[in-house]
Amino acid sequence: MRKSSARLADGREIVYYDEEGHDREDAPDRRELPPVASGSELRWDRLRREWVIVAAHRQDRLHLPPSDECPLCPSRDGRRTEVPSPSYDVAVFENRFPALNGPGGRCEVVCFSSDHHTSLAALGPRRLRTVVDAWADRTEALSARPDVAHVYVFENRGPEIGVTLHHPHGQIYALPFVTPRTERELDSARRHRAATGGDLFGDILAAETAGPRVVLRNEHWTAFVPEAARWPVEVHVYPHRAVPDLPALDGDERTALAELYSDLLGRADRLFGAPLPYVSAWHQAPARDPEARGLARLRLELFSVRRAPGKLKYLAGTESGAGVFSQDVTPESTAHRLREA
């Protein structure tokens, strides 16, 4: 893989991760751009003890443009986009409409392909390995920033999830705080270690590996539907080796992840005979907390609001208002259907 970087017209960084050589010499960003939109702020919810991001400048960002106006496609035929190069494999750049920017956070866009009409599921293991390497490289770079406490890597896919651009892409948020979800899970891991002396995530993996909810498994990874799944389709992917984050994966683990994840995404799209809307999120250890990094374990969670062909799960009052989820589909049946897909 070849890595190269440049600057966009307004000073934002763009990084290319290429499997093949691409000529970048004649691909500067010649657009005339205003300064990057800003104005976000963090507000502290005293009741829930959680940070809330207020980013009113994002209200007017581009929303589901036609393919010939996509800002993530490569620049070519006189049309200039967010990616100045006329071709690329994987490109990562600072978001022009970030939820957080400057001191106190950073938001990046990860373009999985220059092909507007493909998907991560259709790209295959080789490209997925390049994406994994890009995720790991950006996690390492962002974690080194003194204003970053936690790096969150994710993909929203499908209009049912609320995506604003159809082009296959994900995002990376470098946050100045540790997410509430991670804080709760670290507390559970801490309590488990105090009570049993064991590793909570390792014990969960061992229990699921021996049960009926495993979907896929190879030498380095296991994908399973969790016992207490909240969503109609929900799959967790754990590495067999306890590592805190994506940069800690070795080459064999990254290749095995690309192969298993490519298989899983293909099964997800075949589940209902149509592309599955989903959120796919990497849970990583906080950047610089030694105790937390010893407790946490890297893992991927993929979930979908699709519960049947033509039917979506909407959060009900108990779920949205009280955080108490109810499940219409048994995790065991979801695992079985994914194995058969």
Collapsing DSSP states into helix, strand and coil, what is residue 51?
Answer: strand
| DSSP code per residue over 114-152 | S-TT--HHHHHHHHHHHHHHHHHHHHHHHHTSTT-SEEE
Question: What span, in angstroms and rounded, lies between the C-alpha atoms of 283 and 61?
Answer: 27
Collapsing DSSP states into helix, strand and coil, what is residue 175?
Answer: strand
From the number of C-beta atoms within 10 Å of its C-beta (0-12, 13-18, 19+), residue 120 rates as buried
Known catalytic residue at 192: no
Give 307's contacts (C-beta < 8 A, 6+ positions apart).
232, 233, 313, 328, 329
Strands, sheet with 90-94, edge to edge from the N-terminal-most edge strand:
2-7, 13-18, 90-94, 106-111, 169-175, 150-157, 278-283, 299-304, 233-239, 221-224, 214-217
The vertex-193 CA angle with 188 and 199, nearest 5°, equals 85
Per-residue HEC secondary structure of 273-316 comes to CCCCCEEEEEECCCCCCHHHHHHCCCEEEEEECEEECCEECCCC
In this structure, what token pair is assigned to residue 29?
A: 């960003």
Question: What span, in angstroms and rounded, lies between the C-alpha atoms of 214 and 63?
Answer: 37
Helix 180-196 vs helix 200-209: crossing angle, to nearest 10: 80
The vertex-162 CA angle with 334 and 304, nearest 5°, equals 5
In this structure, what token pair is assigned to residue 279?
A: 């959120």
Using alpha carbons, select from 94, 132, 130, 123 the residue that is nearest to residue 5: 94
Annotated active-site residue in 169, 220, 236, 283: 169
Active site residues: 169
